[in-house]
Structure 1
Amino acid sequence: MELIEDRAQWVKIEWKKDNPIEIINTYCPNEPKAKIEFLEKLRKKIKKNKGIKNPLVMGDFNFTEDDIDRFPMRPDDNKVVKTFTKLKKDLNLVDTWRSINPGKINYTFTQTRPEGTSMSRIDRIYHNKKLESLVTKAKITSSAGISDHKITIATINQADQPYTGHGPWKFRTELFEYKPFVDKAKKLLKKAEKDIKKYWETVFNKSNKRIKHIRKENNPQLIWTKTKEDIKELSIKMTKRQSKERLETEKTLRREMETTLRNAAKGNNRQDNLEKYNDAKKALEDWEKNNMLKAQLSAKAHF
């Protein structure tokens, strides 16, 4: 349902019986006066609509609440922030990313001009305080070329969600490109090939009575079954290892970005730190695009 034409939409999704999830998607105007008018109009529209209960409010707000969310640091128009604070109070809203990442620095939009680079966290998600215990993750990630803005992602669990276990095991096809897995899997397959070859050589050189014993203890079917189990075990182990390596790569790049930004904000070798930040940012974006492509290929393989 459109609350304000081209600027705010309300969506209600069946999430759990008698407990739907509501989302209000917003796109704030650029000019301060237009922002104030929009936010006040949105607040009144929500108040008037009795069907709206505890929505998630998200989108491109085109302003920040705190100076930490801008580079170079500066506060936004106080009247705009005050108007938005009224809306937050009415809906009991919390900045999701900031609640999970207190004190951290990250941005969703970068603008490069002749006078310098500016960055801001203008794309945000807000949740109702009632959902606070259910919000487990929040991060800012690359849009992989879909937009010139980064994407803010939040994980919100259902209340009283049952434990469902790990589900059926599936081989992750991207492991075919992971050298440590490929090298070890090749060794297992070569061993199986060698053992099967040895089996046939042994069979041809033994009496019929002895052949029955050999077939029972160690035949090609048993060798192959054991090899498949070993490869499955290896793939599980290597998936964990690969995930750990990815997490470390992401952490290192994000740490580098935050450190260089903090140093630049303090005025310490600003240009040098901005260049280091841009290098780390580019590396992270390339890494995220690569992960997204692999996820898409994996999804195609499974579905």
Structure 2
Amino acid sequence: MKLKRINILGLQETHMTTQHLATVHTLYERRLQVYNSPDPDNASASAGVAFAIDKSTTRTDKTQFIELVPGRAALLVIQWRENTTTTILNTYAPNSPNDHPAFWQAVQDALEAHNIRTIDFMLGDFNLVEDEIDRTPPHPDRQTAVDALRNFRATFQLQDTWRHDNINYRLFTYRTVRNDNVIQSRLDRIYTSATTARNIYEWDHIIGYIPSDHDMITVRYAPSDATTTGPGRWTMPLHLLTNAAFLRDVKDAGRKLEANIAETIPARTPEHNAQTLWATFKATIRTLAKKHAALTKGRMSQKIKSLTAALDASPRSSRTK
């Protein structure tokens, strides 16, 4: 979460017991707040949904966590500011298509019982796709299961925003091998309300550090009344401290500074003195740092581009057009 700057992480199939949750809080109490809804019958081996919140970036003092369907659906209400809340529904739908209609009805009933009328985000592992484009080989899922999800989405006015923005693009988050054939699908999705969709950006999917047959979907969200943050003050990238070419240029500029300061000792003027020369030297260092940082960034970008192309071309890739 720290590396990818994730503020709120929704997890499914956690298999987390009460003891596991206590251990997590003991180890990461200063950094994380974790809410877990375990499977009521077999918490350590079945289902489970959870939220993990980065306490260093997200306020948790007025957070509300509601279990809707134990082990399968939970709601998180985050209060960003005094009058601004965001509601996130985390779901882990049943594996069997026959169970989907009853599951979505149970989630809706629980939301209505808690007087929840609006959902900003619905995320999770839905264990089905709504369109054939989201499977390879393409094939439709059980229509009754798809209809149950669509009816729920219509009730709460939720849309597949990523698909709206990428009508013909194929992206898969789950993969398995059956009879020597690779099966891929976009089971993991994030739905949003139409209002929320105007404030989200930078969709991405990540191959997790923990081995899994699912990838993680991420998106950034900025509430309409979020505080505006400026560009900040420029600082020199620390990696330049080991850049031989940059250090060589700095040494050359330093030797020139020493010689110029020596010339001012017998003939100092308001325009030509150690202070003005030092200011010029600092400006020179800044210019050199930006120049070498740009060169390094270009090389890194090219390396990332080539690695991404290699990843896309590999059988493990989930990104195809």
Write the letter of the residue equivalent to 1:186. Answer: L
1:226 maps to amino acid = A
Give the alignment partner of residue 152 of structure 1, picking from 209, 217, 232: 217
Superposed CA deviations along residues 270-295 of structure 1, whole A, max 9, x for unmatched, are xxxxxx4426x39x9xxxxxxxxxxx
Matches within 5 A, 1:129-278: 129-145=194-210, 147-161=212-226, 163-174=228-239, 182=243, 184-196=245-257, 198-199=259-260, 203=262, 209-210=266-267, 212=268, 216=273, 221-222=278-279, 224-234=281-291, 237-238=294-295, 241=298, 245=302, 248-249=305-306, 252=309, 257=312, 276-278=313-315
Q: TM-score, normalised by structure 2?
A: 0.67
Asked if 2 retains the 8 angstrom alpha-carbon contact of 1:199 and 1:218, the reply is no
Matches within 5 A, 1:74-93: 74-93=139-158
**Across the two proteins, how many residue pairs are aligned to each other?**
253
Alignment partner of 1:83: what SS?
Answer: helix
Tell me the SS of whatever aligns to 1:278.
coil
- Write the letter of the residue equivalent to 2:89: I
Deviation at 1:95, TM superposition (A): 0.8
Report the counterpart of residue 123 of structure 2 in structure 1.
58
- Distance in 2, matches of 1:235 and 1:107, equals 38
Matching residue of 1:273: none
Equivalent-residue separation in structure 2 for 1:230 and 1:99 (angstroms) = 43
The 5 A counterparts of 1:35-74 are 35-74=100-139
Which residue identity lines up with residue 22 of structure 1 in the other structure?
T
Tell me whether 123-132 or 51-60 shows the greater mean CA deviation: 51-60
Q: Which has a greater percent of strand?
A: 2
The offset of 1:146, in angstroms, is 5.9
The aligned counterpart of 1:299 is none
Partners in 2 of 1:81 and 1:10 — Cα distance? 22
Give the counterpart letter for 1:216 in structure 2: N
Matches of 1:239 and 1:157, distance apart in 2: 31
User: Could you tell me whether the CA contact under 8 Å between 1:135 and 1:154 is conserved in 2?
Assistant: yes
Higher deviation after alignment, 102-111 or 236-245: 236-245
Please point out which of 12, 29, 39 is paired with 2:77: 12
Q: TM-score, normalised by structure 1?
A: 0.70
Q: Which has the higher contact order (CA 8 A, sep 6+)?
A: 1
Same amino acid, percent of matched pairs: 22
Q: In structure 2, give the amino acid aligned to 1:170.
A: T
- Residue 139 (structure 1) shift: 2.3
The code of the aligned residue for 1:96 comes to T
Assess if the C-alpha contact under 8 Å between 1:196 and 1:219 holds in 2. no
In the TM superposition, what is the alpha-carbon distance from 1:72 to its structure 2 partner? 0.8
Relative distance call for 1:240 and 1:16 in structure 2 (3 A) is: farther
Provide the C-alpha distance between the structure 2 equivalents of 1:28 and 1:14, rounded to a whole number of angstroms.
27
- CA shift in 2, pair 1:243/1:169, >3 Å: farther
1:167 is paired with a residue of what secondary structure?
Answer: coil
Shift of residue 193 of structure 1? 3.9
Amino acid at match of 2:157: N
Counterpart-to-counterpart distance in 1, 2:192 and 2:153: 10
The answer as to 2:182 corresponding to 1:125 is no
Q: CA deviation at 1:197?
A: 5.6
> C-alpha offsets along residues 184-226 of structure 1, whole Å, 9 cap, x if unaligned?
41342231243246458xx4xx79634x469716887456423
Structure 1 unmatched ranges of 5 or more: 258-275, 285-303
Give CA deviations for 1:243-272 in whole Å, capped at 9, x if unaligned: 864775587568xx4xxxxxxxxxxxxxxx
Hey, which of these two has a bigger chunk of helix by percent? 1
Quote the offset at 1:172 in angstroms.
3.5
| Amino acid aligned to 1:131 | T
Amino acid of the residue matched to residue 190 of structure 1? K
Give the alignment partner of residue 24 of structure 1, picking from 79, 89, 92.
89
Aligned equivalent of 1:294: none
Cα distance change on mapping 1:224 and 1:122 into 2, 3 Å = same
The alpha carbon displacement at 1:89 in A equals 0.4
Classify the secondary structure of the residue corresponding to 2:191.
strand
The 8 Å contact of residues 240 and 293 in structure 2, kept in 1 or not, is answered as: no
User: Which amino acid in the other structure matches residue 35 of structure 1?
Assistant: H
Distance in structure 2 (CA, Å) of the matches to 1:79 and 1:36: 7
Cα gap change, 1:4/1:207 in structure 2, threshold over 3 Å: closer, same or farther? closer
Instruction: Give the match for residue 101 of structure 1.
Output: 166
| Deviation larger for 134-143 or 62-71 | 134-143
Give the alignment partner of residue 180 of structure 2, picking from 112, 115, 119.
115
Cα offset, 1:239, TM superposition: 7.3
218 and 24 in structure 1: CA distance in 2 versus 1, 3 angstrom threshold: closer
Let me know the Cα RMSD of the aligned residues. 3.4
Partner SS for 1:186: helix
